[in-house]
Amino acid sequence: MWRAEWLRFWAELKFYRQMWIGNLINQVLITAGFFWVVSLLSQATLSGLLALFFWQYVSIPLSKISTDIWEESTSGAFEQMYLHAAQPALVLVVRLLNYLVQQTVVALPLFLGMALLFGFSLTDLLSYNWGGMLLTLGVSLAGFVGLGLAMGGILLIYRNAIGYANALEYLLLFLSGAVVPLGQLPAFIQPLAWGLPLSLGIETIRRLENGGQWELTLMALVVQSVFMLVLGLALFNRCLRRALRRGFAMSR
């Protein structure tokens, strides 16, 4: 299965090479632009730059799983994946791991270059608690796998709902603390913002830099991510069974 997914990736990379280059340019412009705006509004911090890359990572399960399911169900290819020896959810998770490896290859040099460009020293980079950050990223990704499976399951039934997945991805960017710290959001939005699945992860990486009690937010994040993963997997399997009963061609 791993080999098949890597071959699929390389075939798509060759065929859609110009699109991949365009997406890379968009990623650079969006990240640099947002961080430049944030640095103008408040003090530029390493955790602020990390928050933007953090959002890009954890939104991969939501955007990629949803898009893959939508494309394959509309083209009729999802039935072939269902006939695979492995469970469809496992195939999607393996594909997701490949996406994360690809993102790492792109994001790591991009992050280092932007960090130095915006004036962060090697001392700043080396003194950051990277172990805590990677742990936070892993826990957040587990929760977003559940969110991506849930949205993917919904798209098996309602294919035209793909726009909601894209809207949710950017809603998380603006209301999770990635651009503006949660404490600086309007008071009536803050309760909603704290309940978003990305907010606890970004708050944790901010506390890793300023010496706050990041262990408490990490524990809350673990509980939230486990709940999202279990719920998302259950919803995906339920929607998959319903789609199989109705027939994928019946889904709208």
Residue 92 CB neighbours (<10 A):
21
Residue 13 CB neighbours (<10 A):
12
- Predicted pLDDT at 19: 63
C-alpha R_g of the chain: 19
Q: What is the pLDDT along the chain (252 residues), one digit of tens a residue?
A: 556 555 555 666 566 666 666 666 766 676 666 666 666 556 678 888 888 888 888 888 887 777 777 777 666 666 665 555 556 667 777 778 888 887 888 788 888 888 888 788 888 888 888 999 999 999 998 888 888 888 888 888 887 777 777 788 778 877 887 777 777 778 888 888 887 778 889 889 988 888 778 889 999 999 999 999 999 989 988 888 887 777 654 444
The contacts found for 121-128 with CB under 8 angstroms, 24 or more apart, are 124/46, 125/46, 128/46, 128/208, 128/209
Cα separation, 182 vs 193, in Å, equals 7
67 φ/ψ angles, rounded to the nearest 5 degrees:
-65, -45
- Predicted pLDDT at 250: 43
77 φ/ψ angles, rounded to the nearest 5 degrees:
-85, -15
**What size, in residues, is the chain?**
252
For the chain, how are helix, strand and coil distributed in percent, rounded to 5? 85, 0, 15
Q: Where are the domains of the chain?
A: 2-250
